Chains A and B, each alone.
Chain A
Amino acid sequence: MKYFSWRAALIGLVLIVSVIYVIPTFKPGLWPYKKINLGLDLQGGMHLVLEVQTEKAVESTLERIRNELRDLFRKEQVRHQGIEHSGKTGLLIQLADSENFQKDVEKIDDLLETNFGSDEIVSDSIDSATKTVKLVLKDKWVQDIQKQTVEQALETIRNRIDQFGVNEPDIRLQGERRIQVQLPGIKDTARAKELIGKTALLEFKMLDEEHDLGAALNGEVPPGSVVLYSADEAKDGQTGKKQPYLVKQKTEMTGASLSDARVQIDSQFNEPYVAIDFDRKGARDFERVTGENIKKRMAIVLDNKVYSAPVIQEKIPGGSARITGSFNAQEARDLAIVLRAGSLPAPVEIIEERTVGPSLGRDSIHKGLLSLIVSSLLVLVFIAIYYKVSGLVADLALVLNILMIAAGLAMFGGTLSMPGIAGIILTIGMAVDNNILIYERIREEMRLGKTPLACIDAGFDRASITIFDANLTTLIAALVLFQFGTGPIKGFAVTLSLGVTASMFTALIMSRAVIDYLYATNRMKTLSV
């Protein structure tokens, strides 16, 4: 019959599309559609939110400028008694010469202009009484630094995780300075956190051999030097103590010019070490630095821990070095990964963590499915008893509804979380409302003594406006939730919206078509509602 054929065609189409999208979840690889993703709470895994400490990046930029200014002042003969940090974005220069104060100030401005550009750092206040000049970083530039820092950190973390090998990791920016990392199915969470959070700043610094280490340890650290400790405990008998080194503050080279890092095994001690290669520029620098410091000791420092401090025997050309330490094979492998992926431009701090073990995830799936099955059965049986034949039609609608939610999840690449399962369960209870509205209306029309077909017509027509309205309010709430919710709650909003939308289709189009078919074709003479 022409009357309902367009509905039948539409239902057929929806059914086929739904099945096409749902099947890969149960039989992966049958055709190239995606499976429904399980949320971290169901398959186990780790969710981290990291905060990039961008102010540290600003601080180190300021420190770099301070060092460069010192060198420039020496060259240009600006006499000063020190350059100190002032606040988070400023430097305070204490000039020495009171007669030449004005000239010095002008010279500083010139130096700033030529060496840094006026959009980076400018002199902010000049005090001739105390002979001080205050420099500040421009706000815009500070923001640029912070933005770049976060972007670079995101890139670095992404590289590290790629090399670590996790299935379908999700790494994204959250807000201005936060990075959200989701690692589904990961078991060794400690190792992953170590790998993500390690700053991995590799520095080559000269040891300060002119001054006494003992005095430095007693608090008399010579200017321009600093005490750093070894990464592992000293091997020379003093167990439990880390070996101190007196190291010059100046960094000769960093790991930024690395081209490769890989694990190798020392043939003599059978211990793994990390071999590093420099790029062209790095190799030249390394050759120069080693050439200038023959017979001196150079410390290889990673995140402010000294890994080794060998004596430079001769100029080293070719650009390769090795980092030794008492690594086990895995530690060496992870170190190679972080060195290859590059250092983080600023430290990161874990400010949110949600880790679910795989056993709890499985447990949740079982409980979720059990609730889903029991509640569906209760509702299906109840509706079938209550509305008889029409009740079975409503049941059919409900089953199609669940199928459509599943297909929708697969289609839009949604993630099924435990709250998402709760959303489906709730949808079952609420979707049946549409059919109830229609059937109650039909019953009322029947009491007025109308013919079955007229009752069906009036029932569907009158109920449909109410159904649209009623579902729209749930949809509003679900959309707001989606907009503001995080993680699993979003999953709930998704399944709820899918369920509400699907339920309108199953009630108004599908149920209508089936009921029309049953009665309009005279298969059933009396209404069974």
Chain B
Amino acid sequence: MEIIKSGTRIDFVGLRYFAFGFSCLLILAGIFSLIIKGPKFGIDFAGGTLIQIKAAQSVTIDAIKKGFEKVNLEGTAVQQIGSASDNEYLIRAKTPADTGKDFSEALQADLAAATGAKVDVQRVEMVGPQVGKDLRSKALYALFYSLVFIAIYISGRFEQKWGTSGILAALITGSVYMVSLFNVSIPFLILLALVVTLLMFWQLRLKYAMGAIVSLIHDVTITIGALSLFNYEFTLSIVAALLTLIGFSLNDTIVVFDRIRENIKKYPRLPMNEIINRSVNETLSRTILTNLTAWTTVVCLFFLGGEITRDFAFSMVVGVFIGTYSTIYMASPILLMFKDEGGGGQVAPAAAR
């Protein structure tokens, strides 16, 4: 059985400007949503309280809010989860509750009195502001370090320039360290690391590394935008999803790039855009199959996995989909941006070795 017939020749490179435009649209939509709504942090990062309750019979949200009056939490929001017959609700509050001693028992009694139904407190999560701050910086550092490691790996692996990649890593870490002495916020540090990385890749003509990292940023940005558009809060599991996506997005890109280098050797006369088109088409079947299976599993998780993994699954559903698209339309055409070397297969003798 074949989904993509062998010998398929789709002119992906020819469609690249259309694709760039489409991507810009998606990215802008996400950024707009982030600006208008503001980034929404879950309790992991902002601190606060999250309580999941299950009522024995159907209750109203107003009654639940009333039951929460006594515990005195600020900014309480009640949301029904699962199917209507489950009578399960999530309550989020901005302030960390004082969960000492009889918190759950007292709350259970208050809720039962207010709603007139037996209420079971199933989950209580409380994160103090300091812990939230710590987790936030931990998560950002995780993103930062994975970026550095991956930058080293790609430039070393694709251009066979491990020395250069070592210097690159030292430069990124060094410049970030210098700036961090001035007590700037971590998001800014990450942005700085990204800019330094991109500039270095451009300056050193590390085109494969450039292609890989641009498509990686593309995927992560669009996923974050989609999370904001669909009103998901940023939580620890979303950070896990983003990191996994970074690995996954690269994985796809590497497969195509490997094929490009192989084809450069095989057809030294062919112009670069032909090579790219041929390589993307040759790997198209694999790209689509792999992403289809991965996508199937995360879609299953999204629909069947319940509330706890839903935000993770959602990020993966969006990310894997966008990752497939970026592998085909983004990563490889970026190689063409390096015009001076792009004339033909004579390029990159170093890479071909």
Residues of A within 8 A of B (CB): 41, 49, 51, 189-190, 193-194, 197, 350-357, 359-360, 363-364, 367-368, 370-371, 374-375, 378-379, 382-383, 385-388, 418-419, 421-422, 425-426, 428-430, 432-433, 436-437, 440, 443-444, 447, 465-466, 469-478, 480-481, 483-486, 488-489, 492-493, 496
The stretch of B26-34, B62-70, B161-169, B284-292 in contact with A is: B284-292
B293 touches A190 (CB 8 A): no
Partner of B297, one of A193, A360, A428, A480: A428
How far apart are the CA atoms of A359 and B119 in the complex, in Å? 13
Q: Shortest Cβ distance from B145 into chain A, in angstroms?
A: 5
Taking a contact as CB atoms under 8 Å apart, the answer to whether B247 and A386 are in contact is no
Closest 5 CB pairs of A and B: A477-B247, A429-B294, A429-B297, A351-B128, A484-B142
Question: By the criterion CB–CB under 8 Å, are A486 and B298 in contact?
Answer: no
- Taking the complex as formed, is B312 at the interface, i.e. its CB lies under 8 A from any CB of chain A? yes
Does residue B330 face the partner (Cβ distance < 8 Å to A)?
Answer: no
- Note all chain A residues with C-beta closer than 8 A to B243: 477-478, 480-481
Is there an interface contact between A469 and B258, defined as CB atoms closer than 8 Å?
yes
A492, B104: Cα distance in complex, Å: 29
Q: 0/1 per residue, B123-153, Cβ < 8 Å to A?
A: 1111110110001001101100110011001
Bound state CA distance, A49 and B243, in angstroms?
26
Contacts A/B (CB < 8 Å), 21 sampled: A190-B102, A353-B99, A353-B126, A354-B126, A368-B305, A375-B300, A375-B301, A379-B297, A386-B1, A419-B312, A422-B312, A426-B301, A436-B286, A436-B289, A470-B252, A470-B254, A471-B251, A473-B254, A478-B244, A484-B138, A489-B236
B218-248 vs A, Cβ < 8 Å mask (1 yes, 0 no): 0000000000000000001101100110111
Number of interface residues of B (CB under 8 A): 72
What separation, in Å, do the CA atoms of A280 and B96 have in the docked complex? 46
Most buried by B among A359, A388, A447, A466: A466
Contact A350 B294 (CB under 8 A): no
Residues of B close to A425: CB separation below 8 A: 297-298, 300-301, 305
Q: Given A474-B248, A480-B146, does the pair A360, B300 have CB atoms closer than 8 Å? A: no
With both beta carbons as reference points, the residue of chain B lying nearest to A430 in the complex is identified as: B294
Counting residue pairs across A and B whose Cβ atoms lie within 8 Å, the total is 219
A492 to B93 alpha-carbon distance, docked (Å):
27
In the bound complex, how far is the Cα of B45 from the Cα of A486, in angstroms? 13
Bound complex: CA A41 to CA B322 (Å) = 31
Q: With A354-B125, A378-B296, A474-B248 given, can you name 7 additional A-B contacts, CB distance below 8 Å?
A: A51-B128, A190-B102, A350-B99, A355-B104, A440-B285, A473-B246, A492-B240
Chain A contacts for B116, CB-based, 8 A: none
Q: Is B276 an interface residue (CB 8 A)?
A: no
Q: A432-B290, A436-B289, A481-B142 are in contact. Are A190 and B308 (CB under 8 A)?
A: no
- Which of the residues B101, B131, B157 comes within 8 Å of A49, measured between beta carbons? B131
A422 to B258, Cβ gap below 8 A? no
Chain B, 76-134, CB within 8 A of any chain A CB: 96, 99-105, 120-128, 130-131
Checking B1, B100, B246 against A385 with a beta-carbon cut-off of 8 angstroms, the contacting residue is B1
Interface assignment of B52: CB less than 8 Å from any CB of chain A? yes
Nearest-Cβ distance from residue B296 to partner chain A, whole angstroms? 5
**What is the distance, in angstroms, from B44's C-beta to the closest C-beta of chain A?**
9
Question: Are A352 and B126 touching (Cβ within 8 A)?
Answer: yes
CA distance A421 to B297 in the complex (A): 12
> Looking at A359, A383, A421, A485, which has the most chain B CB atoms within 10 Å of its CB?
A485
Give CA–CA (A428, B125) in the complex, Å.
Answer: 30
Give the shortest distance, in Å, between A425 (CB) and chain B (any CB): 5
In whole angstroms, what is the CA distance A370 to B297 when docked? Answer: 12
How far apart sit A483 and B141, CA to CA, in the bound complex (Å)? 10
